[in-house]
Amino acid sequence: MLYTQEASKLVVKGDLPAGSVTWQSPSNIALIKYWGKHGDQLPNNPSLSLTLKNAYTQSTLIYAPRDAPTGGVAMSFLFDGQPMPAFQERIEQYLNRLTPIFPFIEQYQLDIRSRNSFPHSSGIASSASAMSALALCLCSMEHELFNTLEENNSFRRKASHVARLGSGSACRSIYSKAALWGKTGLVENSSDEYAVPMGEGIRITLDDFRDAILIISSRPKATSSSLGHQMMDTHPFAAARYEAARKNLLHLIEALRKGDLDHMAMICEHEALSLHALLISSQPDILLLQPNTIKVIQLVREFRRTTGNPVFFSIDAGPNLHLLYPGSAAEEVENFVTGVLAEYCEEGAWINDGVGPGPVQL
């Protein structure tokens, strides 16, 4: 595992200082999907995502010396000011896994306070924003205690690596605009261990690229993404899927570099529907799309055909739909959302989001 050798030096000697750190980290929407993994949260195919702006997790890590450390991590967790036992258990397991990388956390009581700007566990990559925010907090804590991560690239790479161990897609939320995770000859310095930024060399203007997140349902999913990933181990179409994802990545990178929105739209919609085809054909099957999801897809395609607007959709492992479009089409598309599509959203709810600058320390 990366960073374990240097981590052997990360134990506080003498008096233990207390402190706190807060990071706000965004969700992301994968255009090329990550679905299927091996080893310790390593992807079976590369994925590429856009980093969002208004769908985020804000997490505060408060650390104070433990009176008598006895091994293992001591922690508490509140979400929106309330205990969340299931979340706390997952985070406690995650932190205990990280002690080879951050051995100093066993010397502290860790109190984590977290909130979301969007519904959690509903297929909008809330684990990506949550785990990336926590990973950033841990890297900031390390830097404050040991002054080890002064260089920004080193800080981000370690945060991406650590976030990946909590949730694979979280490693991509560390970077602004767009990020790629997974080793591929198409992108220099790409790795299965962490994500790399993809903002350079893209002719499509991502600074003003929009994402209307249509909340078809805010209810937590009946089947977790973790279980869905496990099902890929025995999925009859797994090998074909990984090969298709690699080819789609090649074509998407070409489209981004050429500024070809039409080709980008075709690839992204195909990827979204392919993900749900895998879910539906799993054993047992996982059906996350809802009738209103299908209706919205049909309406979006008809709107694109009749208006010529370069608007297209993506969907993660849930029923909610990301409507993607350039800023130049914003007025007409958003009128379409409020005037037509909102009828099919839960209580008319949608998030006016877009490509963002990445995480920020508060």
Do 26 and 78 sit in the same domain of this protein? yes
Residue 8 has a pLDDT of 58
Tokens at residue 1, please? Answer: 């595992």
Number of domains making up the chain? 2
Mean pLDDT across 69-73: 81
Cα-based angle 131, 133, 135 (whole degrees, multiple of 5) = 65
Dist. CA 155–CA 166, nearest whole Å: 17
Which one of 135, 166, 200 terminates a domain?
A: 200
pLDDT in tens, 2-11: 776 566 567 7
Dist. CA 279–CA 283, nearest whole Å: 9
Mean pLDDT across 44-73: 92
CATH number, position 146: 3.30.230.10
Handedness of CA 319, 84, 229, 197 (dihedral sign): positive
Phi-psi category of 326—alpha, beta or left, where left has phi over 0 and alpha has psi -120 to 50?
A: beta
Dist. CA 312–CA 45, nearest whole Å: 23
Do 196 and 240 sit in the same domain of this protein? no
Do 214 and 176 sit in the same domain of this protein? no
Instruction: Indicate the burial class of 182 (C-beta count within 10 angstroms; 0-12, 13-18, 19 or more).
Output: buried
Q: Which residues, 6+ apart, have CB-to-CB distance to 117 below 8 Å?
A: 54, 55, 56, 57, 58, 351
pLDDT in tens, 195-241: 999 977 788 888 899 999 999 998 887 777 888 888 899 999 999 99
pTM here is: 0.94
Which one of 165, 200, 235 terminates a domain?
A: 200
Which one of 180, 200, 220 terminates a domain?
A: 200
Q: Which residue has the higher pLDDT, 220 or 19?
A: 19
pLDDT in tens, 266-314: 999 999 999 999 999 998 999 999 999 999 999 999 999 999 999 999 9
Q: Are residues 133 and 58 in contact, defined by beta-carbon separation less than 8 angstroms?
A: yes
Residue 6 has a pLDDT of 66
Q: Which residues, 6+ apart, have CB-to-CB distance to 179 below 8 Å?
A: 28, 48, 49, 51, 171, 172, 173, 195, 196, 197, 198
Mean pLDDT across 31-52: 96
Helix 152-166 / helix 126-146 crossing angle, nearest 10 deg? 130
pLDDT at 351 > cutoff 80 = yes
pLDDT in tens, 95-135: 999 999 999 999 999 999 999 997 765 556 688 999 999 99
Do 182 and 141 sit in the same domain of this protein? yes
Dist. CA 317–CA 77, nearest whole Å: 26
Q: State the chain's mean pLDDT as an integer.
A: 92
Residue 125 has a pLDDT of 63
